[in-house]
Structure 1
């Protein structure tokens, strides 16, 4: 027979685990002395390895006990349920890996951008989930809106570095109204399907007057004023909506990134604007 330490070593587990399993009636020794010395048969190793395998799949002890208490023919349904949990966990790890890859790729591309330098960029069409329209831009309002919006999405969607930010009702000719402007929180629609019906909106493929800024009140105001000057110099007409798109890794305490893109849709042809400029 095997002592408890010998069985633990053979199964690559610990003496404490075997004692715990004994106390929970999950895996009991073949023989126990009056002084609580535990002894096991070699044949018990296979049952122990089965239990340890189920635990590695994050099954609870109660679930394992339920499986073990079933007749051999009835264990299939329980094992299929365990397999389903494993497949779900694998899918989550794949998504996490994709999120991390996007973070690395996005950070690398950001290193080539210059802060506070307005440019014209051709942006592709993006579909966003959107929140309700905020009434004001107070810290409490933003926190409440964030909680409401992301409560509709899963945890991995929050982690995901797909584009997110705000759509603000703002004319480039009335930048003084930025602090009081209403806005919606937006998040690029991902591959995950949600049971809830979440409103969506599209950022159309178009030319945009853009500037990358520090994601602070001072940085945004500075960037907006630079965009206004840039658009006047280039004779660009813009839409009355400001797209504020987080540039990279999210600082989860306030739902924003360190830097943010400010984008205004250009309504007139860039070529026409260049002709007017000349």
Structure 2
């Protein structure tokens, strides 16, 4: 037989865990000496490995005791069925996490050319975005509150998938003076169906007049002016709304933004 420390090492657990399991009647040693020393058989390793696996799956000690009882070993019961369902759900969740992370890594690995402070034509395919309710206050507090509410309604994995996010503003005629008071909505590219009450908005396919600028109000107003001047010089007709897209969004930062924003207006045919 093995002393408790040797058995714990063999099972890749701790002496403290074995003592706890003994006191909670979850897993008992094969023999306890008159001096109180615990001893275990090699054959007990298989049962302990099963118990440790159940703990990793999040089962409580009481649930494990029920599953490990003599009667439950002889016939499956509701707890075992629930355990199987829990494992299936965890597999589903992990696959979803894997897919979301793979999507984000693919986006990260795609280099996005930056045209800072220089208008250019950007071609888009049709895209669908989830959108928040319309807001009329561009204060940091209002945006932060709206951001928290918006992403609460989305699947948590959507926020980290690296897909397009930003704002859509009702700002016709490229009038930068009206930017600060323009009604706006938060948007996030809709990739897979989710259970949400959020509505969607489509960004039509076509050519967009775009500019990449710093993420601050002054730069945004300057960017809108540059788009307006470029459109006049090239005899382009632009359609609202204004799309304000985060370039290479960073989920660690407020509003999931980075230092670079892309402003875009659809060019009319």
Specify whether residues 173 and 41 from structure 1 end up closer, same or farther in structure 2 by C-alpha distance, changes over 3 A only.
Answer: closer
Corresponding residue of 2:31: 31
Cα contact 2:170–2:184 (8 A) shared by 1: yes
Q: CA RMSD in A?
A: 2.2
The worse-fitting range, judged by mean Cα deviation, of 19-28 and 251-260 is 251-260
Residue 171 (structure 2) pairs with residue 170 (structure 1): yes
Q: d(CA) in 2 for partners of 1:190 and 1:66?
A: 43
In structure 2, the residue matched to 1:138 is: 139
In 2 relative to 1, CA 30–107 (structure 1 residues): closer, same or farther, beyond 3 Å?
A: closer
Structure 1 stretch displaced more, 236-245 or 210-219: 210-219
Point out where structure 2 has 5 or more consecutive residues left out of the alignment: none
Secondary structure (helix, strand or coil) at the match of 2:123 reads: strand
Q: TM-score, normalised by structure 1?
A: 0.86
Q: Could you state the TM-score of these two structures normalised by the residue count of structure 2?
A: 0.89
Judge which range, 201-210 or 15-24, deviates more. 15-24
Offset from partner CA, 1:73-114 (integer Å, 9 cap, x none): 543643443343334333433443444444444344445322
Question: Which residue in 1 is equivalent to 2:266?
Answer: 265
The CA distance in 2 between the partners of 1:123 and 1:155, in whole Å, is 27
Counterpart for residue 14 of structure 2: 14
Instruction: Name the CA distance, whole Å, in 2 between partners of 1:173 and 1:242.
Output: 8
Q: Give yes or no for the alignment of 1:211 onto 2:211.
A: yes
Describe the SS at the equivalent of 2:192.
Answer: coil
For 1:181, the equivalent position in structure 2 comes to 182
3-state SS of 1:117 partner: coil
Number of paired residues?
A: 267
What does the per-residue CA deviation read over 1:180-211, in whole Å, with 9 as the maximum and x for residues that have no partner? 111011111122521x3221111111211111
Aligned to 1:275: none
Q: CA distance change for structure 1 residues 40 and 107 in 2, over 3 Å: closer, same or farther?
A: closer
Kindly provide the CA deviation profile for residues 157-183 of structure 1, in whole angstroms up to 9, marking residues without a partner as x. 122211111110102342100011110
Q: Is the 8 A contact 2:244 2:261 kept in 1?
A: yes
Residue in structure 2 matched with residue 198 of structure 1 by the alignment = 198
Which structure 2 residues correspond to residues 219-234 of structure 1 after superposition, within 5 A?
219-234=219-234
Q: Equivalent residue for 1:273? A: none
Matched residue, 1:89 = 90
Counterpart in the other structure of 2:73: 72
CA distance in 1, matches of 2:108, 2:42: 55
Three-state SS of the structure 1 residue aligned to 2:76 is: helix
Tell me the distance in 2 between the aligned counterparts of 1:87 and 1:117.
Answer: 51
- Per-residue deviation at 1:147? 1.8
